[in-house]
């Protein structure tokens, strides 16, 4: 059984999106694989509310030990809401990566979800790394 819930989709860049079944909105977060790889996150730059994101474009910047790790958007759309708690204390991501989301967005294209992996597919992907 996968440790990655199938009610979410996952990018090869270790970002998850949890679509809302009724609207074209999704909650976005980082996988535990990525958070374990990062160690301590000193600070995080999230997109702004209203920002237009393109699938696979840089949208999050994680400051880790004097380095910046750029994270790409899993979907195309507009940022609706930010998780202020994560902005204030980015290391909360490490405590529960599947619960501590980064932002919510309205996505433009339902077909983009099909380009991402299910939880089972993502687990298999990780096994090949």
Domain ranges of the chain: 9-127
- Distance (Å) of CA 109 to CA 19, 25, 70: 12, 10, 23
Q: Which two tokens stand for residue 10?
A: 């996952």
Query: Looking at the predicted structure, is the pLDDT value of residue 83 above 90?
Result: yes
Mean of all residue pLDDT scores within the chain:
93
Which tens digit of pLDDT belongs to each residue from 110-127?
999 999 999 999 999 999
pTM (2 d.p.): 0.93
CATH fold of 9-127 reads OB fold (Dihydrolipoamide Acetyltransferase, E2P) (2.40.50)
Q: Using 50, 70 and 90 to split pLDDT, how confident is the model at 1? A: very low
Determine which helix (DSSP H) or strand (DSSP E) holds 126, and give its type and residue range.
Answer: helix 119-127
């Amino acid at each position: 059984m996968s440790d990655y819930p199938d009610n979410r989709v996952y990018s090869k860049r270790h970002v998850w999106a949890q679509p809302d079944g009724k609207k074209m909105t999704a909650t976005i977060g980082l996988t535990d694989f990525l958070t374990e790889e990062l160690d301590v996150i000193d600070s995080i730059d999230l997109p702004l509310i209203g920002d237009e994101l393109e699938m696979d474009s840089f949208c999050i910047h994680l400051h880790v030990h004097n380095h910046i790790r750029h994270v790409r958007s899993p979907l195309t759309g507009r940022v609706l809401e930010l998780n202020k708690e994560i902005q204030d204390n980015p290391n909360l991501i490490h405590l529960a990566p599947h619960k501590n989301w980064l932002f919510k967005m309205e996505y433009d294209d339902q077909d983009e979800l099909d380009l991402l992996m299910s939880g089972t597919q993502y687990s298999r992907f990780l096994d090949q790394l």
